[in-house]
A and B are shown apart, each in its own frame.
Chain A
Amino acid sequence: MVKRSVIPFGPQHPVLPEPIHLDLVVEDERIVEAIPSIGFVHRGLESLIEKRDFNQMTYVVERTCGICSFQHGMGYCETVEKIFDVEIPRRAKFLRTIWAEMSRMHSHLLWAGLLADAFGYENLFYQCWRIREKVLDLQEMTSGGRVIFSVNKVGGVIKDMDADMLKAILETIKDVEKELKVIKKTFFDDYSVKSRLKGVGILTPEQINALGAVGPMARASGVENDMRRLGYAAYSEIDFEPVVSNDCDCYARCYVRIMEIFQSIDIIRQAIAKIPDESDLSVPIKGNPNGEAFVRLEQPRGEAFYYVKANGKPNLQRMRVRTPTFANVLALCEMLKNTEVADVGLLVVTIDPCISCTER
Chain B
Amino acid sequence: MADTVTFKNEIEEIAVDSLVSRAEELIKAGYRFSQACAAYIDDKFELSYSFSNYDNYDLLNLRVVIDTDTEVKSITTVVPAAVFYENEMHELFGVKIVDIALDYKDKLYRIKQECPLGPSGKEEA
Is B29 positioned at the interface, with any CB of A under 8 Å from its CB? no
| Chain A residues near B54 (CB-CB < 8 A) | 209, 223-225
Contact with A along B53-74 (1 / 0, CB 8 A): 0100101010000000000000
Report the contact-size class of chain A (Cβ under 8 Å from the partner): 35 or more
B residues 5-39 near A (Cβ < 8 Å) are 5, 7, 9, 11, 32-35, 37, 39
| Chain A residues near B1 (CB-CB < 8 A) | 236-237, 239
Contact A46-B117, Cβ < 8 Å, known A230-B7, A237-B2: yes
Contact A231-B110, Cβ < 8 Å, known A50-B125, A212-B34, A212-B81: no
Q: Which of B4, B33, B48 has the most CB of A within 10 A?
A: B4
Is A4 positioned at the interface, with any CB of B under 8 Å from its CB? no
Is B2 touching A42 in the complex (CB atoms < 8 A)? no
The residue of chain B having its C-beta at the shortest distance from the C-beta of A51 within the complex is: B125
Q: In the complex, A236 Cα to B117 Cα: how many Å?
A: 37
Is A230 touching B39 in the complex (CB atoms < 8 A)? no
Is A317 touching B41 in the complex (CB atoms < 8 A)? yes
The residue of chain B having its C-beta at the shortest distance from the C-beta of A42 within the complex is: B109
Is A38 touching B125 in the complex (CB atoms < 8 A)? no
Is A1 positioned at the interface, with any CB of B under 8 Å from its CB? no
Q: In the complex, A40 Cα to B33 Cα: how many Å?
A: 26
Is A352 positioned at the interface, with any CB of B under 8 Å from its CB? no
Is B111 positioned at the interface, with any CB of A under 8 Å from its CB? yes
| Chain A residues near B3 (CB-CB < 8 A) | 229, 241
Q: Which of these, B41, B81, B108, B121, contacts A210 with CB under 8 Å?
A: B81
Is B41 touching A47 in the complex (CB atoms < 8 A)? no
**Nearest-Cβ distance from residue B50 to partner chain A, whole angstroms:** 6
| Chain A residues near B81 (CB-CB < 8 A) | 210-212, 327, 330
| Subset of 29 A-B contacts with CB under 8 Å | A35-B102, A38-B109, A39-B107, A209-B54, A210-B81, A211-B80, A212-B32, A225-B52, A225-B54, A230-B5, A231-B4, A231-B5, A235-B2, A235-B4, A239-B2, A241-B3, A292-B11, A296-B59, A305-B34, A305-B50, A309-B41, A318-B37, A318-B46, A320-B35, A320-B39, A327-B34, A327-B81, A330-B80, A359-B109
Is A294 touching B50 in the complex (CB atoms < 8 A)? yes
| Chain A residues near B104 (CB-CB < 8 A) | 37
Q: In the complex, A228 Cα to B3 Cα: how many Å?
A: 10
| Chain A residues near B121 (CB-CB < 8 A) | 47
A residues near B (Cβ < 8 Å) are 35, 37-40, 42, 44, 46-47, 50, 209-212, 223-225, 227-231, 235-241, 292, 294, 296, 303, 305, 307, 309, 317-318, 320, 322, 326-327, 329-330, 359
Is B80 touching A39 in the complex (CB atoms < 8 A)? no
| Chain B residues near A39 (CB-CB < 8 A) | 107-111
Is B83 positioned at the interface, with any CB of A under 8 Å from its CB? yes
The residue of chain B having its C-beta at the shortest distance from the C-beta of A46 within the complex is: B117
Is B110 touching A307 in the complex (CB atoms < 8 A)? no
**Nearest-Cβ distance from residue B125 to partner chain A, whole angstroms:** 7
Is A322 touching B35 in the complex (CB atoms < 8 A)? yes
Is A47 touching B116 in the complex (CB atoms < 8 A)? yes
Contact A236-B2, Cβ < 8 Å, known A47-B116, A309-B41, A330-B81: yes
Contact A229-B39, Cβ < 8 Å, known A46-B117, A296-B59, A330-B83: no
Q: In the complex, A309 Cα to B35 Cα: how many Å?
A: 16
| Chain A residues near B11 (CB-CB < 8 A) | 292
Q: Which of B34, B50, B116 has the most CB of A within 10 A?
A: B34
Q: In the complex, A31 Cα to B110 Cα: how many Å?
A: 26
| Chain A residues near B48 (CB-CB < 8 A) | 294, 307
| Chain B residues near A35 (CB-CB < 8 A) | 102
Q: In the complex, A209 Cα to B29 Cα: how many Å?
A: 13
The residue of chain A having its C-beta at the shortest distance from the C-beta of B32 within the complex is: A209
Q: In the complex, A317 Cα to B46 Cα: how many Å?
A: 11
- Known contacts A239-B2, A359-B109; can you find 10 more A-B pairs with CB under 8 A? A35-B102, A40-B110, A42-B109, A44-B116, A209-B54, A212-B81, A230-B5, A294-B59, A303-B34, A320-B39
Q: Which of these, A44, A230, A322, contacts B37 with CB under 8 Å?
A: A322
